[in-house]
Amino acid sequence: MKTPVLDMRAISVTYGGRVPAVVGVDLKVRPGEIVGIIGESGSGKSTLAHSVLGLLPKAASLQGEHFDLAGTDMLSAGRGTLTALRGPAAAMIFQNPMTAFSPIHTIGRQLTELLWRDRDQATGQKRERIVAALRDVGIPDPIGKLEAYPFQLSGGMLQRVAIAAALLMKPQLLIADEPTTALDVTMEAQILHLMRTLRDTAGVAILIISHHLGVIAEICDRVAVMYAGRIVEEGTVETIFRQPGHPYTRALFACEPALIPTGARRLPVIAGEVPRPGGTGCDFAGRCLFCEERCLNCAPPWATAAADPSHHSRCHRSMS
């Protein structure tokens, strides 16, 4: 089995020393593997992704037993090491493309600066690489767009530029935080095809965060479900979508628009709100239709399904 590009064990992120955002997460992503993370807003998905690149704010503290990115111990890495890792080891497609670029510099200049490590390449060669990357993500007139400023592009087009920027750095791990949110269905399909091609031809590992369950089902090999800062279920995409083991996962699927029965008069919702992570008992107990007394008083174990050793769920019922 291939050595993981990303290997996290018992990783936690706390803000201000008091507010937990990620709690005890174990996660591995291997070369050539696409892993999806799903969950409601506020479940800790983006915080977990930002921690991989060392992009957490100063108020955040990162702790854990083991955190390895491309052979580097991230728990002891200094600022210089983190800077060197961004790009070759891991690159990220951010959720909001409008804040990913400087508004006062052209697209061409900003993309060229990403290639500062390639000192052996002439400016013309870098320009050719940038134009090819923009063309790959469906940018019309890529040469002309080099002179454009970010505010001159639509949100969808700027998202494509952000994806091209990440691919330019040829990362071992590509982190995509809602990469298709601003795209129409045609461009979404093109971007997903591009990601699969990148995985198949270059062996790039991909960690994708999305609320769009259709995207996760189409592109991912494995899925991790996050709730209140924890991963509550993990397994292959086939297992998670066909036989979800955690009540929260089943509740998420019930709210998927594509799965709502035709003619339904009410849209299904998960009652209540995501609680602050780190509480007593099961974090989902207050919203769960199958809640028992033990769910309120005892944290559920990380259980492995008897029929599938790769399927794990953090629920008392999975042990019954």
pLDDT at 90: 92
Which domains, from first to last, does the chain contain? Answer: 6-89+171-319 (3.40.50.300), 101-170 (no CATH)
Q: What is the pLDDT of residues 225-251, one digit of tens each?
A: 999 999 999 999 999 999 998 999 999
Residue 7 has what pLDDT?
96
DSSP state of 23: E
Residue 278 has a pLDDT of 67
294-297, long-range: CB < 8 A, 24+ apart = none
User: In the chain, which stretches have pLDDT less than 70?
Assistant: 1, 117, 119, 182, 278, 319-320
pLDDT score, position 319: 53
> Which pairs count as long-range contacts for 237-243, CB under 8 Å and 24+ apart, including other chains?
237/36, 239/308, 239/310, 239/311, 240/311, 241/213, 241/217, 243/311
Residue 272: its pLDDT value, please?
Answer: 82
Measured CA to CA in angstroms, residue 77 lies from 12, 31, 68, 74, 114 at distances of 16, 22, 10, 5, 22
Cβ-Cβ contacts under 8 Å for 174 (sequence gap 6 or more): 90, 91, 92, 93, 166, 167, 195, 198, 204, 205, 206, 207
- Give the pLDDT confidence score for residue 84 in this predicted structure: 86
Residues 6+ apart with CB under 8 A from 77: 54, 85
Surface-to-core class of residue 32, CB atoms within 10 Å of its CB (0-12 exposed, 13-18 middle, 19+ buried): middle
